[in-house]
Each structure stands twice: as C-alpha cells, then as structure tokens.
Amino acid sequence: DGGITQSPKYLFRKEGQNVTLSCEQNLNHDAMYWYRQDPGQGLRLIYYSQIVNDFQKGDIAEGYSVSREKKESFPLTVTSAQKNPTAFYLCASTTGAYSGNTIYFGEGSWLTVV
C-alpha cells in the first residue's frame, strides 16, 4: 500500500543525545515536511523540503536537522541543542507545488526525554 511510514513509534532520548526519526514515503511525492505537535499548540513546522537535496527551515528549526538525499526519505535528527524535545512528531508529504494539493501525514512518532 502507498503511504508515509514513520519509525520508531516511540523513542526515548537521554540528555545530551542525538536521535533520528525516520520518514519514508512511497507516494512519489516531491515535497516533505516535519511538524511538531504539543498539546494545545497545534502543529508547528520544523523543516520542509520541496525537492531532493534542498530543504528550508520552518518556524522552530533550532535544535533540529534534516537531510533529503532521496526523494522518498526525509529523516529528522533531534540534537542535544533542542532543550525541550518531548513531543509528538509528524511527517507529511505532497506532490508538486500547487497550493490545492492535499498534504498527507504519517502516523507520528513520540519522543520522550528520560
């Protein structure tokens, strides 16, 4: 089935540790996004990528990094510089640049600092 796969579903990070969240899509979508969701705050954009080997910072990029080496993959690294990383992380994708294109989401990943 086509879709967006995020892994792992649950991840625990120790203080000072970098962790990477995986996002893979087999929808042949050009654009991919990472969002952070905190209770009562809706979705906040971390990074987005319109094409391979190109990405832009979103509203809350500090403490995060991404890469886009393949069209189908857009991993997110939460670095030790991110002081409050505990949240639900959502990956999304869409095809083309048309504003009416639907953005589809993965099932999300929970990151908890221990």
Partner 1 sequence: AQSVAQPEDQVNVAEGNPLTVKCTYSVSGNPYLFWYVQYPNRGLQFLLKYITGDNLVKGSYGFEAEFNKSQTSFHLKKPSALVSDSALYFCAVRDEGSYIPTFGRGTSLIVHP
Q: Which residues bind partner 1 (CB under 8 A)?
A: 4, 6, 31, 33, 40-43, 45, 48, 50, 58, 90, 92, 97, 99-100, 102-108, 110
Smallest separation, CB 57 to partner 1 (Å): 11
Q: Cα(114)–Cα(100) distance, rounded to whole angstroms?
A: 41
Region of residue 85 (phi > 0: left; psi between -120 and 50: alpha; otherwise: beta): alpha
Token pair listed for 100? 């009416």
Q: Which one, 3 or 20, has the nearer CB to partner 1? A: 3
Smallest separation, CB 105 to partner 1 (Å): 4
Q: Tell me the one-letter amino acid at 99.
A: S
For 5, list phi and psi in degrees, rounded to 5: -110, 125
Smallest separation, CB 43 to partner 1 (Å): 4
Q: Which one, 81 or 103, has the nearer CB to partner 1? A: 103
